[in-house]
């Protein structure tokens, strides 16, 4: 069984990742130069347009019998997967000493990708499309043109595997210690009973393989999303239809608001996932998936301890709300938790001894003035 050298691949990414795609705000216009300058390893086709008329493309590479379908920015403000995908594209053109891995994947897999499924949402830096539709909950009604294109592609490709790439909020954490969840994964359920079908087991094997590798890079900071069944969710329905769907959530690392670390981890996760899918001697036990700790929501950007609020000693927790202002992402502090936050962790923990607030509005105003 071939295995990757995660340390050397991490070094490759540090040196060779696509450095012109560093910002969280990532639009179709910004990736156009990379699409127009693709190596002849890749095929690019326009497959349709968004609600506001922006182009949507498919990018194809590889010549193997195993078909893999991957899409990014289904939610327009979740760009880490897109940036990691273009790092992956660069890897196949400049693999260096890892050429054996690139050749293995290209021989065994054919990969189809939609880079930025929701270009209108990407432009506006919103989760939803220009109609206000969450594409990840539009799989049954299919009201959005972007959703129709996704399902047309699914029908055309009939992939054995799918990678559904998202970003998760700072609040997600991993036990023990409530460390930040830099990455999270999910093998979606196919019904309310969370039945372990053979397809789900295979999805779990892919994730378990990825987890074993990525733990070497971000130990203790990988979580497992709840597998509660969502009847209108894309991943749940694609899994139900027989396409082994791996959900990847790129998250926060302490102090890393550009998400450089989760971008690298997502790149490595995609490489390991494709390597595992392409190998013929799959051996990993699907039950290893359940050794990944479940996600919690116990991580904040800032915790202020031991303040007085309305005459009562209390902690309060702050989360940043991301907003687009003049083409730049700004982080607006907002109160998320008030109470005993002993069981929470944060990027910054501040002693608020001596702070005395009349009420919660007073806390909010102080927060805006202190951290903006």
- Whether 302 contacts 340, CB under 8 Å: no
- Domain end marker among 249, 269, 296: 296
pTM above 0.75, yes or no: yes
Average pLDDT over residues 196-212: 97
| Among candidate residues 296, 315, 349, the one where a domain is terminated | 296
Residue 160 DSSP symbol: S
Q: Span 73-83, mean pLDDT?
A: 98
* pLDDT tens, position by position, 319-347: 999 999 999 999 999 999 999 999 999 99
pLDDT tens for 169-189 read 999 999 889 999 999 999 999
Element (H, E) at 83: helix 80-93
Q: Is the peptide bond before 325 cis (omega within 30 degrees of 0)?
A: no
Using the predicted structure, report yes or no on whether residue 159 has a pLDDT greater than 90.
yes
For residue 283, what pLDDT is reported? 80
Q: Which residue has the tokens 């000493």?
A: 97
DSSP code at position 294: B
Helix (H) or strand (E) holding 151: helix 145-157
Of 48-57, 143-152, 274-283, the least confident: 274-283
Task: For residue 251, give the nearest of 259, 239, 240, 241 by alpha carbon.
Answer: 259
- Whether the per-residue pLDDT at 300 is higher than 70: the answer is yes
- Per-residue model confidence (pLDDT) at position 3: 79
Does residue 281 carry a pLDDT above 90? no
Residue 372 pLDDT class (50, 70, 90 cuts): confident
Q: Cα–Cα distance between 307 and 93 in angstroms, integer?
A: 55
The domain that contains 103 carries what CATH number? 3.40.630.10
Cα(285)–Cα(298) distance, integer angstroms: 30
Same domain membership, residue 323 and residue 217: no
Average pLDDT of the residues in 116-127 = 98
Q: How long, in residues, is the chain?
A: 372
Q: How far apart are CA 118 and CA 367, in angstroms?
A: 33
Domain check: are 272 and 366 in the same one? Answer: no
Domain count, the chain: 2
Task: Please tell me the predicted confidence (pLDDT) of residue 154.
Answer: 98
User: Which residue, of 238, 272, 296, is where some domain finishes?
Assistant: 296
| pLDDT above 90: percentage of residues in the chain | 97
Indicate whether 147 pLDDT > 90: yes
- Regarding whether 97 and 85 lie in a shared domain, the answer is yes
* Distance, CA of 164 to CA of 246 (rounded, Å): 6
* 1 lies in some domain: no
Position 209 pLDDT exceeds 70: yes
Residues 11, 96 within the same domain: yes
Domain that holds residue 105: 6-296
Query: Mind listing the pLDDT tens digit for each residue in 306-316?
Result: 999 999 999 99
What's the pLDDT at 76? 98
Each residue of 127-145: pLDDT tens digit? 999 999 999 999 999 999 9
The 10s digit of each residue's pLDDT in 82-93 is 999 999 999 999
Same structural domain, 263 and 345: no
| Residues 57-84, mean pLDDT to the nearest whole number | 98
DSSP 219: T
Q: What is the mean pLDDT of the chain?
A: 96
Q: Is the pLDDT of residue 15 over 70?
A: yes
158 shares its domain with 24: yes
Looking at the structure, do residues 10 and 30 belong to the same domain, yes or no? yes
Residue 363 lies in a domain: yes
221 plus 163 within the same structural domain: yes
Instruction: State the DSSP code for 300.
Output: E
Helices 260-278/80-93 angle, 10° precision = 60
């Amino acid at each position: 069984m071939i295995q990757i050298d995660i340390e050397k691949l991490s070094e490759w990414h540090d040196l060779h990742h696509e450095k012109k795609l560093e910002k969280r705000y990532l639009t179709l216009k910004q990736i156009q130069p990379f699409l127009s300058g693709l190596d002849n390893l890749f095929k690019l086709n326009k497959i349709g347009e968004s609600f506001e008329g922006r182009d949507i493309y498919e990018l194809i590479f590889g010549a193997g019998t195993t078909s893999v379908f991957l899409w990014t920015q289904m939610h327009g403000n979740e760009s880490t997967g897109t940036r990691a995908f273009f790092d992956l594209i660069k890897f196949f053109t400049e693999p260096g000493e890892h050429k054996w891995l690139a050749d293995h994947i290209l021989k065994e897999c054919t990969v189809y990708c939609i880079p930025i499924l929701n270009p209108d949402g990407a432009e506006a830096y919103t989760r939803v499309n220009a109609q206000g539709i969450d594409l990840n909950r539009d799989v049954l009604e299919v009201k959005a043109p972007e959703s129709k294109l996704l399902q047309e592609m699914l029908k055309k490709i009939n992939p054995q595997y799918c990678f559904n790439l998202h970003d998760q909020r700072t609040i997600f954490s991993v036990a023990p210690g409530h460390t930040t969840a830099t990455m999270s994964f999910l093998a979606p359920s196919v019904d309310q009973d969370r039945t372990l079908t053979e397809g789900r087991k295979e999805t779990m094997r892919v994730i378990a393989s990825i987890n074993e590798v990525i733990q070497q890079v971000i130990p203790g900071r990988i979580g497992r999303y709840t597998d509660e069944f969502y009847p209108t969710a894309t991943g749940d329905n694609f899994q139900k239809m027989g396409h082994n769907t791996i959900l990847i959530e790129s998250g926060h690392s302490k102090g890393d608001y550009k998400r450089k670390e989760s971008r690298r981890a997502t790149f490595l996760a995609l490489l390991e996932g494709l390597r595992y899918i392409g190998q013929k001697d799959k051996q990993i036990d699907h039950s290893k998936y359940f050794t990944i700790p479940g996600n919690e929501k116990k991580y904040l950007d800032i915790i202020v301890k031991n303040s007085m609020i309305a005459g009562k000693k209390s902690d309060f927790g702050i989360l940043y709300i991301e907003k687009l202002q003049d083409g730049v992402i700004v982080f607006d502090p907002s109160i998320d938790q008030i109470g005993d936050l002993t069981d929470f962790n944060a990027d910054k923990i501040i002693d608020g001894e001596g702070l005395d607030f009349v009420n919660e509005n007073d806390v909010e105003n102080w927060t805006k003035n202190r951290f903006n």
